[in-house]
Structure 1
């Protein structure tokens, strides 16, 4: 599962959950597959994601080095080359292979296996 995907997931479908965002990410295994940097892709994606959530997710997997803090980022054009490379790395290259996602409101754990988050729940858990 990419950290880009993590940025869009929530557990709002659970009973008694109002936002269910952001899901707390815990990893057991990660994989990095290098890819060519596409600055246009980064520019387009940055306006759609919650950067503070991405930063915390990157921090939780030990990949926050060289990322600007959420308070420091103004726009993608203000980033230096190292910061762009790290942003690309956490959004595109990093894959969570085994881990879990935790609902911030209920504590419900959703496993990640083979890079796929399992958000299936029992019928009685859905609102």
Structure 2
């Protein structure tokens, strides 16, 4: 699962829909790998508008990366090729191969195995 995906998933349990605690999920016991991708600064720039920056920073911190600026880059910062390259590395080249995603509202744990997150719920929670 690419790191970018973490910014678009939340708890699937219906009772968690109305709460802000279901996003972002808490990531623990994760194994990460890096896989090289072609650098496309235009893609990174277009994705910045779609990202929940505070969630991105929180998940990055869960996974041991505290290098992200606390405020979403804008203006002149977007011309910094090094920053765009760092974001590219984090968002597209960093993959979570194993781990757990936990809803901070209900405590349900979703597992990641072989880079695939399992969002199937048991019948009593669906």
Task: Give TM-score, length-normalised by structure 2.
Answer: 0.86
* Per-residue CA distance 1:6-61 (angstroms, 9 max, x = gap): 110011x3142123211111243110012222110001111111011111111221
The number of aligned residues is 122
Which aligned runs of 4 or more in structure 1 are off by greater than 4 angstroms?
A: none
Following the alignment from structure 1 to structure 2, what is the Cα–Cα distance between the partners of residues 76 and 33?
29
Structure 2 residue 32 is the aligned partner of structure 1 residue 30: yes
1:1-127 matches, cutoff 5 A:
1-11=1-11, 13-17=12-16, 18-19=18-19, 20-65=22-67, 67-70=68-71, 73-75=72-74, 77-79=76-78, 80-126=80-126
TM-score by length of 1: 0.85
Contact 2:23 2:55 (8 Å CA) reproduced: no
Structure 2: gaps of 5 or more residues: none
User: Matched residue of 1:69: which SS?
Assistant: coil
**Structure 1: gaps (5+ residues):** none
